[in-house]
Structure 1
């Protein structure tokens, strides 16, 4: 398929006249029409030309396919429904510059478009282009306030037990080998017997009733898998069979679930791994499905899921109390306008990645787009002393986030002497306890890759101290402290003091609005359930969902629909109207 970048055609006059007649008066035009009128050619073909060849059969405009995909997300349509909308919906034809007789395209074109975009690393192109246009129009920019939060994303594959995973992985590899080399397969296995076990997908909903039968079946799956790998790697087998993705996944899963040893009699022994005896791979490396090797299991609070995690960043504005004093409304900016809250970045990771590990990545992307905030509102999952100091130094971004309390035993219990009760002399490299005793050792070290200092008091002064029950219960009869570097320690102490003030709590309330954004993205675009396999395609889906969300919000703003107060009862609304 080839693409010669060309400007988008102007809307067909007949369609424009029909749209004008249909939406005359006070009726609001559809989103697709509004986007074309406001932005014109939003996604130029040239921005996607690297993903398409210069020779071959002419293909559909990639820029217009990008807009189709965004509108598809805005209306939560399938590929078939989106292709049908291109053929029949006048608003879509207007936005794409198609005439009435244009037949559109087959729905499979959208799948091929997504695959090409992912293969050439263009997943974020549409969000980059939209935000660049909004920067030009002065709707978004650097500085100001932004907020970020994450939520879980369930993968598009079955959730498998370890037993089901073993059997289904063997079946998936066997299916791939039969498709690639059927004659080779019939030479190396007993097709009828294997077909009885692997002819259909592994029926995980009714495994063998007894524990012994399940253990026997697990060993059978392992032996079959190793036998298949041995046959693939035999000298007489075609070497290219080893490179089949399903075969590579089989190798990983077998190592993850089984151990294979040779007994004293020379017999091969295959058994399932035991965590305490044989060890298990770390969670971030553990495959959970042969059909999506990027999906991972994770838990957060009461939520246990298999899949991914999405981090959403959006602009936000300071709030002021409403007339009734019960609700908060957005304050106008310095130009007197209340601008829409727009998504500035989405980042997709596997489910095991901690929130605080992604904050630098989020800031780097925002810096590339020229949209770094002055203040970044986050929940405690993103917070650490290192990030508070590092974000200001590297990006000039102030983090507004609640810090966890002192994690020493005394700090958690809020009784006894916590770290903040000790006086630290950073220049003299010593610490004085509440009883007036001085530490004996000051030992710089690294813990978890971070610089720390371990301070220890002598048992000779801690042992007879009358305050020792409030200070330490160590059997060594001495107190030990682990300190961050001075700058981080003081930043952490200051942050914990600030978050206790009413002013900080009122300011931090703005962060809660990102929960509404996640709810809107889930309701409108379905971001909590992955549509595709793999991390890259899931991220592509999230990026197009973010663009769709931005266009929906811009459309509401253009039409004069202000941000509504959420979670407000009808009685409270009546009270607000009477006050107004």
Structure 2
């Protein structure tokens, strides 16, 4: 497919006249407002590297990008979006169309090309640049970030189902690519009896654990037999390069071992986590159909898929300059624009995203002065690094310790001890001084281990509130002095009502995540693979921005959280 960049034509006069007549005196639809306010937002030239210079001429990628954004705004399928392009007058007005549109497969090909050339974020870059020119977003100010889980566009499989479905997927790929080879090498009837249907279709696992274990071993033996047939010297070499075969090989290695019994016979056995070990979650495949999805856990939540991180501009509900607060239903001074979207697999902790987010915002010249985050993103090192590298103040609560005193919120916590860094000594609340001070490394971090003498802690009347150790006295683990002072100041500030009121601004991002889930369906991925899932999230973010801009242009105030009568009564009684 080739591309010859060209400017979007003017809206056909007949289309404009009819569209405005239909809109009447009320607010025009979002699609018409976007065209009037932002014009040719996505130029064809911005996507030229994803298309060749030869071949049949393709549909305008700039307008395909706009179609995809509008598709996300209304949570439409590809076919439904194409129908809108063909028959919806407001869409034709936005896209400046007089023709009948295109086939639904064009959208899929467009996404593949954009994701394959790393252009997923181009539409957000273009929108942000246009808004900067209009003065609707700028560097400085406040931004907030939060994450949510995203379910992969595949069924969640347990280890037994994964083993069987991976063999079936490999057989399907081989049967499509080399049917003659399959007929010559395999007993097709027997393999079809076991793998003719998807493992998760009309299938129930055996009732007893013994039967399930036997079936798991059978799947492993079939996988090994199939791989040996493919890698046999007489088999075509190119069969090994089929993605489904590579996936089968990797999933077989992560779930099975080949050993020998006491008679020297070969045995295929299932890996046991406590004996043989399993690959870490960050590299362990969870589906033969989405190789980027991972199994994630957050407290009592478990899922297979990804994480979505959203950063947006935010402003306090009341002016900082003491000016009177606008009416409850007043339009905000500027819209809260989503400035960045990141997508990771489910195993990546939030704290790993802070620096990449700041680098991305720096690339868009949208670094905030204050960045509001929850404790999952926070560390003392990041607070120091963000200030030194980007000039950003992280407004975030640092987690407290993990000792018994912190868990029970009782006894003498670390803050109860006086630390004399110059004398390299700690003093407990009872006046005893430490006898041991040693710099060390724990989990790759610099720490200082401080220990009190058993002779001081043993007869102490409040020992039970301080330590349960019997062989030695109380032990403290401190960070280096600069980080320790930051942690101490942060924990102290968290108790201040003014800090708590300021930090309440972060909670608004929860509403943005809720909007992404309810409007664009971001809870479950539409597509498979990290690149296309990220593309979906970026285009969804652009769609949400256009929805917010449309409301702002139409002087529509922000919605307020609804409180039930029962909740109000409960609050009244509590006071």
TM-score range, shorter chain: over 0.9
Deviation at 1:467, TM superposition (A): 4.0
1:15 maps to what in 2? 15
SS at match of 1:319: coil
1:561 maps to what in 2? 556
Deviation at 1:571, TM superposition (A): 11
1:289, 1:295 within 8 Å by CA — same for their partners in 2? yes
2:81 maps to what in 1? 82
TM-score, length of structure 2 as denominator length: 0.94
1:46 maps to what in 2? 45
Q: 2:466 aligns with which of 463, 468, 471?
A: 471
2:167, 2:223 within 8 Å by CA — same for their partners in 1? yes
Equivalences for residues 224-373 of structure 1 within 5 A: 224-320=222-318, 338-373=333-368
CA distance in 2, matches of 1:415, 1:202: 52
Going from structure 1 to structure 2, the CA distance change for 1:58 and 1:376 (only over 3 Å counts) comes to same
SS at match of 1:532: coil
CA distance in 2, matches of 1:328, 1:407: 44
CA distance in 2, matches of 1:570, 1:480: 51
2:332, 2:558 within 8 Å by CA — same for their partners in 1? no
SS at match of 1:547: helix
* 2:109 is aligned with 1:112: yes
The answer to which of 523-532 and 359-368 deviates more is 359-368
1:146, 1:377 within 8 Å by CA — same for their partners in 2? yes
Going from structure 1 to structure 2, the CA distance change for 1:331 and 1:395 (only over 3 Å counts) comes to farther
SS at match of 2:282: helix
1:318, 1:331 within 8 Å by CA — same for their partners in 2? no
| Residues 349-375 of structure 1, C-alpha deviations (whole Å, 9 max, x = no match) | 111111112121211111111111111
1:4 maps to what in 2? 4
The total of aligned residue pairs comes to: 562
2:212 maps to what in 1? 214
1:314, 1:514 within 8 Å by CA — same for their partners in 2? yes
Deviation at 1:52, TM superposition (A): 0.1
* 2:509 is aligned with 1:514: yes
| Residues 369-417 of structure 1, C-alpha deviations (whole Å, 9 max, x = no match) | 1111111112222122222222212222112222323332223323322
CA distance in 2, matches of 1:65, 1:537: 15
SS at match of 2:387: helix
Deviation at 1:569, TM superposition (A): 5.2
Q: 1:153 aligns with which of 137, 140, 150?
A: 150
1:405, 1:412 within 8 Å by CA — same for their partners in 2? no
1:374, 1:398 within 8 Å by CA — same for their partners in 2? yes
CA distance in 2, matches of 1:192, 1:37: 63
Deviation at 1:434, TM superposition (A): 2.5
Going from structure 1 to structure 2, the CA distance change for 1:437 and 1:331 (only over 3 Å counts) comes to farther
Mark the runs of 5 or more structure 1 residues left unpaired by the alignment: 322-326, 574-580
Deviation at 1:511, TM superposition (A): 1.4
1:483, 1:489 within 8 Å by CA — same for their partners in 2? yes
Q: 1:411 aligns with which of 406, 412, 415?
A: 406
2:343, 2:534 within 8 Å by CA — same for their partners in 1? yes
SS at match of 2:318: strand
CA distance in 1, matches of 2:505, 2:519: 23
2:571 maps to what in 1? none
Deviation at 1:530, TM superposition (A): 0.6
Deviation at 1:428, TM superposition (A): 2.7
The answer to which of 70-79 and 177-186 deviates more is 177-186
CA distance in 1, matches of 2:499, 2:109: 50
2:329, 2:558 within 8 Å by CA — same for their partners in 1? no
2:32, 2:94 within 8 Å by CA — same for their partners in 1? yes
| Residues 414-472 of structure 1, C-alpha deviations (whole Å, 9 max, x = no match) | 33222111221223322222233332332222222222111222334333444433322
CA distance in 2, matches of 1:126, 1:258: 44
2:170 maps to what in 1? 173
CA distance in 1, matches of 2:339, 2:207: 52
SS at match of 1:443: strand
Q: 1:132 aligns with which of 129, 132, 136?
A: 129
1:24 maps to what in 2? 24
TM-score, length of structure 1 as denominator length: 0.93
| Residues 282-308 of structure 1, C-alpha deviations (whole Å, 9 max, x = no match) | 122221110011111222233221111
SS at match of 1:160: coil
Mark the runs of 5 or more structure 2 residues left unpaired by the alignment: 320-324, 569-575
CA distance in 2, matches of 1:569, 1:433: 49
1:260, 1:269 within 8 Å by CA — same for their partners in 2? yes
CA distance in 2, matches of 1:376, 1:32: 32
* 2:533 is aligned with 1:534: no
SS at match of 1:284: coil
CA distance in 2, matches of 1:484, 1:420: 13
The answer to which of 402-411 and 4-13 deviates more is 402-411
1:427 maps to what in 2? 422
CA distance in 2, matches of 1:152, 1:363: 21
Deviation at 1:71, TM superposition (A): 0.6
1:319, 1:331 within 8 Å by CA — same for their partners in 2? no
